[in-house]
Amino acid sequence: MTDESYQKLIELANGHIEGRLDESSREELETLLRDDPEQRRAFADFLHDHAALHWEYISESDNVIPLPPVSRQSPNILTWSALTAAVLAISALLGVLFLGQPDPGSGAFVTMEKTRAARWESANLPTVEGARLSAGTLRLAEGLATLRFDSGAEVVLEAPAVVELINGMNCRLVSGTAVADIPDSALGFQISTPAAKVVDYGTRFAVNVDSLTGATQTQVFEGLVEVEHPESGEIVTLKTGETNFVAGDSIGQATAAPDETEWVHSTQPLQRGPEWTKIPSSRDAYVYSVDVAHHHSEILLLLKNSSDTRGPHRKAYLGFDLSTLDPSQIVEAELKLNFAPTGWGLASHLLDSEFSVYGLTGPHSDQWQESTIAWNSAPANEFSTGDTLKKEGAVLLGKFSVEQGFQRGEFGIDDSRLSEFLQKQKGKFASLVVIRNTKETEGGGLVHGIASHRHPTLPAPTLVIRSRE
Amino acid sequence: MADSSEDRTEAFLRLLTEHEKRLGIYVTGLISCPQDAQDILQEGKVVMWRNFEKFELGTNFAAWARKVLFHQILSYRRKVKRQPSGFLNEETLHILNEESESAHREGRWVKREEALKQCLLKLKEDHRTIVQMRYRDEASIEKISHRVERTEGAVYRLLSRLRKSLYECVERQTSQAS
């Protein structure tokens, strides 16, 4: 640093300290600091001396926090009065009423603030605007949805996306894109993904997760975000306008983001680790109470709960061969069903629909065949209704909802009752029944369809099972 | 055995008390105006307390707290940026923050603070009074100029010169020591 540039720097630093820099001088200073590490260091030290002078005098005066004496020998033993004093000191120190520790896990902590052209799949949470949500999983198939966490964090999901709500300060993005806007109250808000942990120290950023690989891309629009790679513990800090990638065992450095970032929009199902087994239905069929001419399908399993007590009702039977695994070792299980339009009935005559999945428990519950199963002989079927089974032959494993008008998409259940039921299948075969609980509002309502294992393109009804090693 | 949240309350107070002055210096070093720095530190302490559950005891509290405070600085700057102000732009703040982090790692500033005390004692009596008025009494340049019966320009230049000579004194002392 020449003497001339040193004098200039000191002059600018003094002007800055006294708030006397005009705009052009400030820009001159900013350029110096950006371009010259030596000047930067000198400036930082100069400002530090200024700050130290100020705080040296501050701490001489009585402007420090009164603190209860804490015994160093026995830090765990705190008397009641010391505790009370500690609490009072915190209140005094913060100049506000005592703020309780946030309490995660108690009930609802998210509001479904706004949805745009949203279509949900397999939501085990309510999805209407204004709904209060607790921990659980949301699957957005189409559109946009804005979630407001009680901490103040706002997360906009862009379809297709799957997110697990954990608590007011944490969520897990399994796939798709989330755009977060984090106010001061939610500083430290975390979005974890299969590959990374994104911790917010700033205001607005986007995270995208490739559903196939879990690869995570983060981009900061404004503020500061830390991306952590949990495997290596490595952390990359992203500032305004920066982006990075985390994939598999590597974490990318921060780079400047292009104007139009390319986000991954894979619709492939999430790839799971080797401890997961997928079992498609080995047989499936639907039974019907009234034979409506030509209203049959080879490739779809039809579901209907008619407003007329006699029907036509339709229920679907699914059989799964569990011989490739040891049922007693099952830890977790999900049932995945792919819906497709049948072309029959009016969506206007049917509101949001709830479906139930049952497990058959009778001694002959596996004694049914695709070609011969019929309404009157189907195991556990309650012939007189469209929405029940015989209590002694079936057990409820879970429910899911499909919004009015939606006829496509993946739905199903993810419920401990399902894994418990499967564990008990010593015969290594499980029979499930799917029933629509919701009746049409008037005759001619929509017939729902689930892809059978005979469907040429859509996946069969599938159990996804995690077993102990 | 005390309840864990009580333990944490105690831990928070202990850590904050231990580090408050250094954190104040950190903020003031980045934004220079002591009043703004006080406001930021105040807001930052609330945020730290609210998020203290995420702090892992036994790890570096000062580094964690500086992260919280740096965020507060950025958002404070955004809040007031419509007014004409002495704030440096965001890029510069990031650069200076990195410089500050490396100074902390080197332990450079602890050494400077010790030297600064010595250097203050070396000032002439009337010069030290000016420094005290500005820093201890937080008097404005205008007020000081009335008190010492000089023009504002003269006081500004004198204060600038005193800061420079203190800086140079500290530089000499710390380079001798190392």
Question: Does the distance separating the beta carbons of A18 and B159 come in below 8 Å?
Answer: yes
Structural domains counted in chain B: 2
pLDDT at A267: 44
Mutate to test the interface with A, among B89, B92, B174 (most CBs of A within 10 A): B92
* Chain A partners within 8 Å of B120 (Cβ): 53
Closest to B35 measured CA to CA, from B116, B140, B144? B140
- Give me the interface pTM, i.e. the ipTM: 0.93
Kindly state whether residues B39 and B77 are assigned to the same domain.
yes
* Structure confidence at residue B13 (pLDDT): 84
Q: Does A166 touch chain B (CB under 8 A)?
A: no
Claim to verify: residue B102 and residue B114 sit in the same structural domain: no
**Does one domain contain both B32 and B11?**
yes
**B149: CATH:** 1.10.10.10
Q: DSSP strand E in A45-169: where? A: 110-120, 132-133, 136-149, 154-167
3-state DSSP assignment of residue B141? helix
Contact A224 B156 (CB under 8 A): no
More confident residue, B142 or A59: B142
Based on the domain organization, do B75 and B123 belong to the same domain? no
What SS3 class is residue B102? helix
Paired with A404 in beta bridges are none
B142 and B171 housed in the same domain: yes
Ordered structural domains, chain A, with CATH: 3-60 (no CATH), 110-256 (2.60.120.1440), 276-467 (2.60.120.260)
The residue out of B64, B90, B106 marking a domain boundary is B106
B92 and B27 inside one domain: yes
CB interface of B with A, residues 14-53, below 8 Å: 14, 16-17, 20-21, 24-30, 32-34, 37, 42-43, 45-47, 49-53
Structure tokens at B166: 């203190």
Strand, coil or helix: A252: coil
Residues B56 and B118 in one domain: no
Please tell me whether residues B76 and B114 are part of one structural domain. Answer: no
Q: Residue B70: closest CA among chain A residues belongs to which residue?
A: A201
Same domain assignment for residues B12 and B81? yes
pLDDT of residue A124: 66
Q: Bridge-partner residues for A288, per DSSP? A: A314
Say if the Cβ atoms of B96 and A44 lie within 8 Å. yes
Of A49, A76, A78, the CB nearest to B166: A49
Contact call for A83 and B156, based on CB within 8 A: no
pLDDT of residue A383: 87
Q: Is A154 helix (H, G, I), strand (E, B) or coil?
A: strand
Distance CA A337, CA A459 (A): 8
CATH number at residue B13: 1.10.1740.10
Subunit contact B71:A224, Cβ cutoff 8 A: yes
- Cβ of A57 under 8 Å from any chain B Cβ? yes
Where do we find the tokens 């942990």?
A197
The CA distances from residue B61 to A91, A232, B4, B10, B131, in Å, are: 20, 22, 18, 14, 32
Judge if B172 and B95 occupy the same domain.
Answer: no
Taking the Cβ of residue A64 and every Cβ of chain B, the question of whether any pair is shorter than 8 Å is answered with: yes
Closest to B88 in 3D by CA, of A27, A308, A316: A27
Q: How far apart are CA B162 and CA B175, in angstroms?
A: 20
Do residues A452 and A337 make contact, with C-beta atoms less than 8 angstroms apart? no
Contact A166, A140 (CB under 8 A): no
| Residue A17: per-residue pLDDT | 92
B80, B9: one domain = yes
- Which residue, of B106, B134, B159, is where some domain finishes? B106
Tens-digit pLDDT string for chain A (469 aa): 888 999 999 999 999 999 888 888 999 999 999 999 999 999 999 999 999 998 887 655 433 333 333 333 333 333 334 444 555 555 555 543 333 333 333 478 899 998 888 888 766 677 888 888 888 888 888 889 999 998 889 999 998 899 999 888 889 998 889 999 988 878 888 999 988 889 887 678 999 988 777 889 999 988 888 898 877 778 888 888 889 888 877 888 888 877 677 666 544 444 566 678 889 999 999 999 988 888 888 899 999 998 888 888 999 999 999 998 899 999 889 999 999 888 888 888 888 889 999 999 988 888 899 999 999 989 999 988 999 999 889 999 998 888 877 788 888 888 889 999 999 998 889 999 999 999 988 888 889 999 999 988 888 999 999 888 6
* One domain for residues B95 and B163: no
Amino acid letter, A97: L
The SS3 of residue A180 is strand
CA atoms within 13 A on the CB side of A35: 9
Q: Tell me the C-alpha distance between A239 and A25, whole Å.
A: 25
Q: Print the domain residue range for B166.
A: 110-177
User: What's the pLDDT tens digit per position in B72-118?
Assistant: 998 888 877 645 556 888 889 999 999 999 999 888 999 999 999 88
Q: What ranges make up the beta strands (E) of chain B? A: none
pTM: 0.43
Q: Which of B54, B76, B106 is the last residue of a domain?
A: B106
Between CA A246 and CA A212 the distance in angstroms is 14
Asked if B30 and A47 come within 8 Å (Cβ–Cβ), the reply is yes
State phi, psi for A280 to the nearest 5 degrees.
-75, 160
- Neighbouring residues of A436: CB distance < 8 A, sequence distance ≥ 6: A303, A304, A305, A353, A354, A355, A386, A387, A448
